[in-house]
Homo-oligomer: A and B are copies of this chain.
Amino acid sequence: MYKLIKVDGGVCTAEGFYADGISAGLKPNNVKDMAFVYSDTLCETATAFTTNKMTAAPIRHFKAKGEFQTNFVLINAKNANAMTGKAGIEDIEEILATLPEEVHNPVMSSTGVIGVRLPKEKIIAGARLFDLKKRDANAAAAAIMTTDTFSKQIAYRVELEDGSCFHIGAMAKGAGMINPAMATMLCFITTDAKVDKDEMQNILNDNVKRTFNAASVDGDTSTNDTVMLLSNAKSKVYHKEAFTEALYKIMRFLAREMVRDGEGATKLVTYEVSGAKDDEEAEIVAKALTNSLLVKTALYGEDPNWGRIASTVGASGVEAYEESLKISFEDVCVYDRGELYFDAVMEQKAGEVMKRDSFTIYCDLGIGDGKFTAFGCDLGYEYVKINADYRT
């Protein structure tokens, strides 16, 4: 047996990890825009990167290094260093070469506008402000935000039966370009668990599919998505089941927080799809629901227009039948295999559910055992406002 205890401290919770955020003048008004995560000993890494073919320079830089251990990640907001070709890689190398000697094999992670060279001098000057002995997880989490309206952190102390323990902490940013298959989301996770590198990568992959890749704000997949897990093994403790559960909870929490804070979003909606031919088809349906503009605007309007849900299921390409489909808003069934007609009472009840900040829509295809859960949000005027002039 083991216990997961939620604690404060974010990415600085695990032993030997340090982090801070500073202002390098990338964002206006001295808002924090650069962060670091540092470990005083070398770390193994597990990563999940964007599937976008126009992979940003920091990710290409990371991948080109092959097998390596690191103890430092430099993160900047406001500029994605994407579509910048070889120059983008050279900029990273030049910046990282200026870091202090405690830093080994440093890597970089960026988010922001695409197609503009990094403001190298500002970043180099900013990095000189870093104090590697600072443990300000809040400042780091704030510095990596772009259109996020709140910072996202979580950490657990994992206590085993024999009294030993290890820690996992994380921070993330999300908000826009969030879509199944990764998005402009960055997530940094630190742990002092003594976990094997390959096992850590496998557990991460498995969790990404059910958490970040099951979350969508707008159906666009960014050039910069990164989930990076750093482990320095300092606790000398490990327990696979506990580690797996804690990591899943952390990633699920952050994925849901990202959607909740989706650009212009006012509601976090969980889509539980069941009864599909198989899990793959359930996943297709769940993700189609998170991305349908007509479903998203109906959510925003708090209109229990279940016909749009049925239509989206039908349009998703999977096996589905009007005669076996069942749709519920929480415990209010609005369509039951054609045997129930939507009346004013049901509409009122379903409308009540939709007024909540967060609720679940159940969609049973009535065919097989396939199931998948995805996280989506509504789309309102604010989304348009934010994205019609994000650059300016």
> Which A residues fall within an 8 A CB radius of B?
51-55, 80, 82-86, 113-117, 176-177, 179, 181, 218-223, 291-294, 297-298, 300-301, 303, 305-308, 310-315, 317-323, 325, 335, 338, 341-342, 379-381, 383-385, 387-392
Contacts and interface: CB of A to CB of B under 8 A. Distances in A.
A390 B314 contact: no
26 contacts: A51-B317, A53-B320, A54-B311, A83-B335, A113-B307, A114-B305, A114-B307, A114-B308, A114-B310, A114-B311, A116-B307, A218-B293, A220-B293, A220-B308, A220-B315, A221-B315, A222-B311, A222-B315, A223-B310, A293-B383, A293-B387, A297-B383, A300-B388, A301-B387, A305-B391, A379-B384
B83 A322 contact: yes
A307 B387 contact: no
B388 A115 contact: no
A90 to B, nearest CB: 13
Contact of A55 (B51, B117, B300, B314): B314
A113 B307 CA distance: 7
A23 B172 CA distance: 56
Given A294-B177, A335-B83, A389 B303 contact: yes
Given A54-B325, A83-B322, 4 more contacts: A115-B306, A219-B292, A220-B292, A293-B387
Contacts of A303: 388-392
Nearest to A314: B54
Contact of A342 (B80, B116, B321): B116
A387 B219 contact: no
Nearest to A55: B314
A111 B310 CA distance: 15
The 6 A-B pairs of least Cβ separation, nearest first, read: A114-B307, A54-B314, A301-B388, A297-B387, A221-B315, A85-B338
Q: How many copies does the complex hold?
A: 2
B301 A389 contact: yes
B390 A305 contact: yes
A219 to B, nearest CB: 6
A383 B387 CA distance: 14
Contacts of A114: 305, 307-308, 310-311
A314 B388 contact: no
B307 A82 contact: yes
Nearest to A85: B338
A342 B115 contact: yes
Contact of A54 (B54, B181, B322): B322
A50 to B, nearest CB: 8
A322 B391 CA distance: 21
Interface centre among A293, A298, A320, A325 (most CB of B within 10 A): A293
Contacts of A113: 305, 307
Contact of A176 (B83, B294, B392): B294
A53 to B, nearest CB: 4
Nearest to A339: B85
A51 B313 CA distance: 12
B85 A310 contact: no
Contacts of A52: 311, 314-315
A380 B388 contact: yes
Nearest to A52: B314
A162 to B, nearest CB: 47
A322 B85 contact: yes
Contacts of A297: 383-384, 387-388
A219 B221 CA distance: 16
Nearest to A380: B384
Given A293-B219, A294-B176, A294-B387, A338 B83 contact: yes
Contacts of A116: 307, 342
Interface centre among A84, A114, A298, A387, by most chain B C-beta atoms within 10 angstroms, is A387
